[in-house]
Structure formats: C-alpha cells, structure tokens
Amino acid sequence: MNIVIMGVQGSGKGTQAKKLAELKGWKHINIGQLFRAEMSGGTATGKEAKQYVTNGELVPDELTFRIFANAAPFNSSNLILDGFPRSVAQSKYLLEHYQIDKIIVLDLSEAEAVKRISARRNCSKCGRDYNTLYKKPQKEGICDVCGGELVTREDDKPKEVQRRIDIYMEQARKLLDFFEGKVKIVSIDASQGIDEIFSLLVKEVDSLQ
C-alpha cells in the first residue's frame, strides 16, 4: 500500500508522515530530504541536481524521477510520499509506475497556516527550531540550549510565507483535479493538535488494510 500526504506549510505534514512511517515501519519519502541527501553525498545525480539548484533553476522532472526511483524502485509498496508529486506530469509518472491507494490532505486554512509559520523561530547559533505558539523558549528570544539569539528565517517572513502558500494552493488544486476519480482522496482537519490529527491519519490508513 502507498499513500501520498499533502498539506500546506504549517499543516504538520512532515511530522505526521514521519510518525506514520515509524508506527507502520514504512518508508517516509520526503523529496526535499532526498535531494539534500544526494547533494551532500556527492553522488552523480546529486552533483547534477546541485548545478540546477545553485543556478536557481528548476530541477527537470527526469532528474527528480531518477532520484525518486533510487529511493523507491518501481512498484514498491509501503511508501508514504511527502512533497511529491508536485505537478500533473509528476502525478502521471507516479500512477504509471506505482500503485497509489489514497491521498490524504491535511487541510488548514490560509490564515491559520500564516499564523503558524510566522511563529517559527530559529537559533542563530545552533539552528534549533522554536515556535512562539507551540514550542516557546524558556526566555523570550533566547535559545534554551546555547543562549543564542532566536531569529525569523527569511523564508518565514510574512511576504515570503504568503508567496509559498499561494504556490502550494495553486499546485494542490491542480493535483487534486488530476487525481479526482483516479485515487481516493480524503481530508483531515489539520487545525487540531498533533495527536488528534495522527489518530485520524492512522484510521484513514487502517481502513485500507
């Protein structure tokens, strides 16, 4: 069985996918992480990918497919896909080579996503993550571990957050249009707590088995 988890930044998609993979003993495939691992590992495909990324160019699908298939050979199962597919072309590829049983969308309003992402902070010294809503430091603005100053990453500033959300919404609409009628699609309300979302997610997966 294979599932795709979708969700806007701030929906907790990565955390949920990871928890699910641990519970089921399945493989969590986060396409962003795969790219980073290939690039830092200095593999041939990683070097190729790095050229595009360094030049600020889009990585061609053909290369993404190779990196994806390295981690998940055709027709493999027990995969939890996170961050892939991102386009209709990638979705077609996916359905050609893998069985996809369900698409689970972690549904979060734009306003809530903006609120959650804008609350993110990072330690300027050790990089540890904080969140002024859910994971506050003991002392405001100061890292608990190393005493470094907490800052907002460029990516998490309001204008950039809005831009990323707009891109996701547009992408999600196209993907869901494509998958409609081909794969079962369900939504989970991601405005709830991590544990509530997780138990609904497990239920959705168990209902397939």
Q: What is the CA radius of gyration of the chain?
A: 18
In angstroms, give the least distance from the CB of 151 to Zn ion: 11
> Cα dihedral angle (17, 23, 25, 26), rounded to 10 degrees?
-20
Annotated catalytic residues are 13, 86, 120, 153, 164
Partners of 100 in the beta sheet? none
86 or 121, CB closer to Zn ion?
121
In angstroms, give the least distance from the CB of 120 to Zn ion: 14
129 or 177, CB closer to Zn ion?
129
- Between CA 10 and CA 114 the distance in angstroms is 8
In angstroms, give the least distance from the CB of 67 to Zn ion: 32
In angstroms, give the least distance from the CB of 133 to Zn ion: 19
Is the bond into 85 cis (omega within 30 degrees of 0)?
yes
Task: Output phi, psi for 183, to 5 deg.
Answer: -135, 145
Hey, what are 178's tokens? 């494509």
72 or 150, CB closer to Zn ion?
150
- Between CA 157 and CA 44 the distance in angstroms is 35
Buried (b) or exposed (e) across 6-24, using 16+ Cβ within 10 A? bbbbbbbbbebbebbbeeb
Give the binding site for Zn ion (CB under 5 A).
123, 125-126, 128, 143, 145-146, 148
4 or 123, CB closer to Zn ion?
123
Task: Output phi, psi for 30, to 5 deg.
Answer: -105, 115
In angstroms, give the least distance from the CB of 96 to Zn ion: 45
95 or 142, CB closer to Zn ion?
142
